[in-house]
Amino acid sequence: MQLFKNTNYDFLGKKWPFIIASLVLTVAGFTSIALKGGLKYGIDFKEGALVQVKFAYPPPDNRIRAAMLQKIQGEVSVQDLSGSGAVNMVEIGTEAKGEGEHQLNANRDDMQTVLTATFGQPGSGKLDLNNTAQEALANRLRDALASASVALSEEQLQTLVRNILAEINTQHSGLITDFNQLSSVPGMNAGIMSTLRQECYLAPFHVVSAQMVGPKVGAELRKKAVLATLYALAGMLAYIAFRFEWIYGLGAVIACFHDTLITIGLFSLFNREISMTVIAALLTLVGYSMNDTIVIFDRIRENLKFSRKESLEAVMNRAVNQTLSRTVMTSGLTFLTVIALFIWGGPVLSGFSFALVCGIIVGTYSSVFVASPIVLFWHNYADRRRKPSAGGGPAAPRVETARKSPTKAVR
Amino acid sequence: MQKNLRTRTIVIAATILVCIFFIIGFPTSKAELVDHLKGNIRLGLDLKGGSHLVMEVQVQDAAKGDAQQTVERMMQDAAKQNITIPVQPEVSDPQTVDDVGSVTITIKGVPPAQASAFRDMVTSNYATYILTSLNSTDYQMKLKPSDLVDLKKETVQRAIDTIGNRINELGVAESSVQQYGQSGSDYQILIQLPGVDDPARAKELIGTTAVLEIVGVDKAHDTPFASREDALAKLGGILPLNERLVPEKPRAGQQGAEWYLVSKTPVITGKEMRNARSGQDDVRKWQTSFSLSPDGGKRFARFTGDHVGDKLAVVLDGTAVSVATINERIEDQGRIMGLGSEEEAVDLARYLRSGSLPARVLPLSENSVGPSLGADSIHQGIVSGIAGLLAVITVMLVYYKRSGVNAVLALFLNTVILLAAISALHAALTLPGIAGVILTIGMAVDSNVLIFERIREELRTGKGVIAAVDTGFNKAWWTIVDTHVTTVVSCAFLFLFGEGPVRGFAVTLTIGLIANVFTAVFVSRTIFNWELSRQRGMEALSI
């Protein structure tokens, strides 16, 4: 089976519709960002405190917000995290807005106490089995089990507690709704079960994770994200300038910029958060997009060596057609793996995989329809300046290959 | 060709064995296999659960403390030498670490006649301070810059040691405390507690300064006041000399805190308490017992002997955790009784054992992941990985037919090498790291596609099978290098600037791509050669 055998599409001749499409997308992205008042930052870049909580039933957002506002100063946001594998999860957050680390830390601790006060049974004297830890549970059960005449050595007790917690955490995502769900825990018996029911209760929520980022750390992370991006782009430019003529380098970098801008614009359009892992995805895309562009440029260079009479446009077209099969295949295969991540990878990676999904599509497209036309435009412009009286199409310029370009031909 | 083929096959087989060893060792049973796997592949914080805390040591506290102690000693020395210092010197009170250098002692009202005597006393007894005179009677003292630097370093180091002791008590494996030199700050420390399942308790344990003092309660006013305002009202608005008001920790059921009037000078402090242990007394109430150093023991004996029937308060960081009546003279052992819970008694014992922090620590950032999230994430990572892998394998087999098998074998080997490298390097596998493995699958096939497409092209121009394979590999080699270099450069910067999870991603992707150069070229070529050598004069290649 072979797609794209000896194709001959006129990519560079029909470049205008695609350039316009690029511009439209970029503008749409910027408009979205402007209208929504900037990008949506994740906790990494935006100072604040966050708590992710899983509920046993669809979470009552308004009730949560009202309860939080009673204890916490400032705005409280309650966001539904359901989707991409998460069920009944919310993210409760407060922003810093000029508060220092003291207040943020207090807020983060308060969020937990408010949850217990609102949804748990703080006055009952019992231990919340859905939000407890090894030491606390062991200490609680030790005496109770002894008085219930269940004889366990200290080691057996610790193992039992570990098994109970493992059952809750790995089999039920940290939240059980009925004590009977623990009946399959190794070592469980009637005496232990009744002690559990007596000493513990099951809150309808489970705190999954918590983050707090103060102003100092937030500023630090923002700086690092920007630096990493700038350095990576600079590194790319240097590498391509080393391998090709400078205009090719410029074309490749502009294509990469274009990819990054459109992807960020899409993030804004689809209301997604930008976190440190998203930046990681963007940088990976930069590297990946460079790949595609280099492959096409390599081919152009190889073809230019052997063409004497063809125009640059024709040579470029041929190069793109020749590499079309490879480009579509590799992008397609990488896209398959990334789509798998997006669908099944879970909520933590959703921003990351979304960036990759958009980026691969845009990146492949830009290597063909953005990078090469830029080089073409430049050479046409340069030629017109050089020989203003020449008629017909300009002859394909001799490409100065970089000093150390390997003579082993590449695609 | 045959000998070459044999050498290559041996190399590949050896690689496979070494990698398998790194991943699962030589297990003798299924349980052992799972065990080895868990032991060899270290999980990052986001997969294992745990806490990642960045804290700032408030070194200005230590500077202020040093200044205050200097003031006390200075007053005593001045009295001995008959130098008049009419008013207690003031110590300035900077609130942030950036102002640590501005801690100043201001002395006012020294008679000009005693100026030189005063100056001699300061320069000989308090050599770490620089004395400047503001006018004929007022002076300022500031720590010498080099001594300030020493104080800062020592404070941070002692904080790290104390916190290290405390988290050792938690028994969390692979926990660590270290200096965190980001953005040039010297005062930040990073605390990692992988697998800790009670981050709130851990934070409290770490963050409590734990200055413990046993002080005498004012004899005339030894019943508690209902509130601070109430106390001030009853005392006529002024506190007696050398006394202060402290709240008592509210116990279960109480609404507000009760306040006690206690002495400012402690009888004994936490530094003199040794061998602290938590336990229960005869009536099953929780208590913390301790023994005293010889010095502390003598002082305690003298005080308790003189004050039988009076009350004592145990004050932890300015809050009284226990108030009790002295029944008899206590020599060298004591018990802090009436604590609210087992947790309180255990933590108090921990604070006594590890010592108090030399300065407060301020949490700058926290990332706590519960164990349930880690389990879910691993599960989701594996599911998406398998889905992606299956999709890629299917496409390769359909599109490239038997040569697709070639690519799939190389792909499996690639993944095995990647996992082995992660294990061997003790790199932590994070969730983005798993994404990196999945991404490697997609990018790894890229190399195979490059080679195969080139071979197809050569076949189309009419070349023979062997020549086509040869040329395909040769021509594709530099492009493979090019494409891998660009992504690795990106990953290098991600590694430099990223933290934890992002670093995990950079590491797995880089290793995956490097391994890919080996598998896509060396291994694929070997498989092709093997296939070609089996059928002499092959007419067509299944590609």
Q: What is the CATH number of the domain that holds B360?
A: 3.30.1360.200
* B325 in A contact zone (CB under 8 Å): no
Provide φ and ψ at A18, rounded to 5°: -75, -35
Q: Which residues contact B531 (CB under 8 A, 6 or more apart)?
A: B406
CB contact under 8 A, A408 and B198: no
Nearest Cβ partner of B487 from A288, A338, A344? A288
CB contact under 8 A, B449 and A329: yes
Domain count, chain B: 3
* B378 in A contact zone (CB under 8 Å): no
Gyration radius from chain B CA atoms = 35
The pLDDT value recorded for residue A396 is 46
| Domain boundary residue, one of A160, A180, A213 | A213
* B408 in A contact zone (CB under 8 Å): no
Is A4 contained in some domain?
A: no
Nearest Cβ partner of A139 from B46, B200, B342? B342
**Amino acid at site A127:** L
Q: Are residues A295 and A347 in the same domain?
A: yes
Query: How close is the nearest chain B Cα to the Cα of A389, in Å?
Result: 39
Is A2 contained in some domain?
A: no
Closest among A208, A215, A164 to A188, alpha carbons compared: A164
pLDDT in tens, B379-423: 888 888 899 889 989 988 888 887 888 888 888 899 889 988 888
Q: Per-residue pLDDT for chain A (411 aa), expressed as one digit of tens each?
A: 666 666 777 777 777 888 888 888 888 888 888 888 778 888 888 888 889 898 988 888 888 888 888 888 778 888 887 665 678 888 888 876 666 778 888 888 888 888 888 888 877 778 888 888 888 888 888 888 888 888 888 888 889 888 998 888 888 888 888 888 888 888 888 888 888 888 888 889 999 888 888 888 888 888 888 888 888 888 877 887 777 777 777 788 888 888 888 998 998 888 888 888 888 888 888 888 887 888 888 888 878 888 777 788 888 888 888 888 888 888 888 888 889 888 888 888 888 999 999 998 888 888 878 888 888 887 888 777 776 654 444 444 444 444 444 444 444
CB contact under 8 A, A353 and B494: no
C-alpha neighbours within 13 Å on the C-beta side of residue B536: 2
Burial class (CB in 10 A: 0-12, 13-18, 19+), B215: buried
Is A30 contained in some domain?
A: yes
Is B74 contained in some domain?
A: yes
Tokens of B316: 């932890």
Is A398 contained in some domain?
A: no
- β-strands A200-201, A127-128: how paired? parallel
Q: How far is it, in rounded angstroms, from Cα A337 to Cα A352?
A: 13
C-alpha pair distances (Å), A112 with each of A47, A211, B167, B210:
18, 12, 22, 24
% of chain B surpassing 90 pLDDT: 2
C-alpha neighbours within 13 Å on the C-beta side of residue B290: 28
- Chain center to CA of B104: 33
Provide φ and ψ at B47, rounded to 5°: -105, -25
* B435 in A contact zone (CB under 8 Å): yes
Nearest Cβ partner of A349 from B185, B431, B490? B431
Provide φ and ψ at A78, rounded to 5°: -120, 115
Q: Are residues A231 and A376 in the same domain?
A: yes
Query: How close is the nearest chain A Cα to the Cα of B408, in Å?
Result: 13
Q: Are residues B9 and B24 in the same domain?
A: yes
CB contact under 8 A, A340 and B384: yes
CB contact under 8 A, B432 and A5: no
Provide φ and ψ at A284, rounded to 5°: -60, -40
For the residues B234-242, what does the mean pLDDT come to?
78
| Residues in B 484-513 with any Cβ partner in A closer than 8 A | 485-494, 496-499, 501-502, 505-506, 509
Nearest Cβ partner of B398 from A1, A227, A280? A1
DSSP category for residue B247: E
Q: Are residues B124 and B232 in the same domain?
A: no
How many CB pairs below 8 A link A and B? 274
Give all strands (DSSP E) within B58-187, no chain letters.
90-91, 104-107, 129-133, 139-143, 176-179
| Domain boundary residue, one of B132, B150, B168 | B150
- End-to-end alpha carbon distance in chain A: 21
Q: Are residues B350 and B222 in the same domain?
A: yes
Q: Are residues A258 and A371 in the same domain?
A: yes
Query: How close is the nearest chain B Cα to the Cα of A340, in Å?
Result: 5
Nearest Cβ partner of A280 from B362, B445, B502? B502
For the residues B225-250, what does the mean pLDDT come to?
81
pLDDT in tens, B7-26: 888 888 888 888 888 887 77
B142-169 burial, b at 16+ Cβ within 10 Å, e below that, comes to bbeeeebeebbeebbebbbebbbebbee
CB contact under 8 A, B453 and A329: yes
Closest Cα in chain A to B198: A133
In this structure, the number of other CB atoms found within 10 A of the CB of residue A95 comes to 18
Domain of residue B64 covers: 60-150
Q: How far is it, in rounded angstroms, from Cα A327 to Cα A322?
A: 9
| Domain boundary residue, one of B114, B130, B150 | B150
The residues that bridge with A18 in the sheet, in sequence order, are none
B2 band by pLDDT with thresholds 50, 70 and 90? low
DSSP category for residue A177: S
Full-model pTM: 0.79
Nearest Cβ partner of B438 from A276, A337, A343? A337
Query: How close is the nearest chain B Cα to the Cα of A298, in Å?
Result: 8
**Neighboring chain B residues of A207 at a CB cutoff of 8 Å:** 370
The residues that bridge with A274 in the sheet, in sequence order, are A41
* B275 in A contact zone (CB under 8 Å): no
CATH number at residue B135: 3.30.70
Is B188 contained in some domain?
A: no
Q: Are residues A250 and A376 in the same domain?
A: yes
Q: Are residues A35 and A57 in the same domain?
A: no
Closest Cα in chain A to B342: A139
* B453 in A contact zone (CB under 8 Å): yes
Closest among B215, B211, B210 to B244, alpha carbons compared: B215
Asked if B438 and B384 touch (Cβ cutoff 8 Å), the reply is: yes
| Domain boundary residue, one of B120, B150, B180 | B150
**Neighboring chain B residues of A346 at a CB cutoff of 8 Å:** 376-377, 380-381, 384, 431
DSSP category for residue B400: H
CB contact under 8 A, A346 and B377: yes
Domain count, chain A: 3
Is A299 contained in some domain?
A: yes
Is A391 contained in some domain?
A: no
Q: Is the per-residue pLDDT at B425 higher than 80?
A: yes
Regarding predicted confidence, which is higher, B12 or B1?
A: B12
Q: Is the per-residue pLDDT at B252 higher than 70?
A: no
Q: Are residues B310 and B379 in the same domain?
A: no
Domain of residue A347 covers: 15-41+214-386
CATH number at residue A109: 3.30.70
Nearest Cβ partner of B483 from A134, A294, A352? A294
Provide φ and ψ at B325, rounded to 5°: -90, 140
Is A9 contained in some domain?
A: no
Burial class (CB in 10 A: 0-12, 13-18, 19+), B263: middle
Query: How close is the nearest chain B Cα to the Cα of A393, in Å?
Result: 30
Tokens of B170: 């938690």
Residue A376: which region, alpha, beta or left (left: phi > 0; alpha: psi -120 to 50)?
alpha
Closest Cα in chain B to A162: B197
Compute the Cα dihedral for B511, B517, B520, B522 and give only its sign: negative
Q: How far is it, in rounded angstroms, from Cα A81 to Cα A89?
A: 5
Secondary element (H or E) of residue B200: helix B199-207
Secondary element (H or E) of residue B322: strand B319-325
Asked if B94 and B359 touch (Cβ cutoff 8 Å), the reply is: no
* B392 in A contact zone (CB under 8 Å): yes
CB contact under 8 A, A408 and B501: no
Nearest Cβ partner of A280 from B343, B376, B505? B505
CATH number at residue B382: 1.20.1640.10
CB contact under 8 A, B442 and A335: yes
CB contact under 8 A, A276 and B506: no
Query: How close is the nearest chain A Cα to the Cα of B148, in Å?
Result: 23
Q: What is the ipTM score, two decimals?
A: 0.78
CB contact under 8 A, A207 and B489: no
Is B309 contained in some domain?
A: yes
Nearest Cβ partner of B483 from A135, A236, A295? A295
CATH number at residue A326: 1.20.1640.10
Q: Which residues contact A322 (CB under 8 A, 6 or more apart)?
A: A299, A303, A411, B457
In this structure, the number of other CB atoms found within 10 A of the CB of residue B535 comes to 9
pLDDT in tens, B48-86: 888 989 999 988 888 888 888 888 788 888 888 888 888
B253 band by pLDDT with thresholds 50, 70 and 90? low
Q: How far is it, in rounded angstroms, from Cα A322 to Cα A4?
A: 9
In this structure, the number of other CB atoms found within 10 A of the CB of residue B256 comes to 9
Asked if B230 and B221 touch (Cβ cutoff 8 Å), the reply is: no
Q: Are residues B400 and B444 in the same domain?
A: yes
Closest Cα in chain A to B169: A135
Q: Is the per-residue pLDDT at B1 higher than 60?
A: no
C-alpha pair distances (Å), B290 with each of A402, B332, B370, B436:
77, 9, 35, 53
Output B74-80 pairs: Cβ under 8 A, ≥24 positions apart: B74/B107, B74/B121, B74/B122, B74/B125, B74/B126, B77/B121, B77/B125, B78/B118, B78/B121
The pLDDT value recorded for residue B539 is 62
CB contact under 8 A, A408 and B478: yes
Tokens 């395909």 — which residue? B472
Query: How close is the nearest chain A Cα to the Cα of B25, in Å?
Result: 26
CB contact under 8 A, B475 and A409: yes
Closest Cα in chain A to B477: A410
| Ranges A261-275, A339-353, B251-265, B497-511: which has the least confidence | B251-265
Is A106 contained in some domain?
A: yes
**Crossing angle of the two packed helices A246-269 and A350-366, in degrees rounded to 10:** 140
Angle at B399 (CA atoms; ends B395, B402), nearest 5 degrees: 100
pLDDT in tens, B203-218: 888 888 888 888 888 8
Q: Is the per-residue pLDDT at B142 higher than 60?
A: yes
DSSP category for residue A169: I
| Domain boundary residue, one of A137, A169, A203 | A203
According to the 3-state scheme, what is the secondary structure of A263-332?
A: HHHHHHHCCCCECHHHHHHHHHHHHHHHHHHHHHHHHHHHHHHHCCCCCHHHHHHHHHHHHHHHHHHHHH
Reduced to 3 states (helix: H, G, I; strand: E, B; else coil), residue B457 is helix
DSSP category for residue A85: T
The pLDDT value recorded for residue A6 is 66
For the residues B125-136, what does the mean pLDDT come to?
86
* B21 in A contact zone (CB under 8 Å): no
The pLDDT value recorded for residue B538 is 61
Q: What is the residue-averaged pLDDT of chain B?
A: 84
Q: How far is it, in rounded angstroms, from Cα B347 to Cα B210?
A: 10
Tokens 């090894």 — which residue? A134
User: Mutate which of B186, B193, B364 to disrupt the A interface (most A C-beta within 10 Å)?
Assistant: B364
The pLDDT value recorded for residue A355 is 92
Closest Cα in chain B to A292: B483
Asked if A48 and B367 touch (Cβ cutoff 8 Å), the reply is: no
Asked if B90 and B117 touch (Cβ cutoff 8 Å), the reply is: no
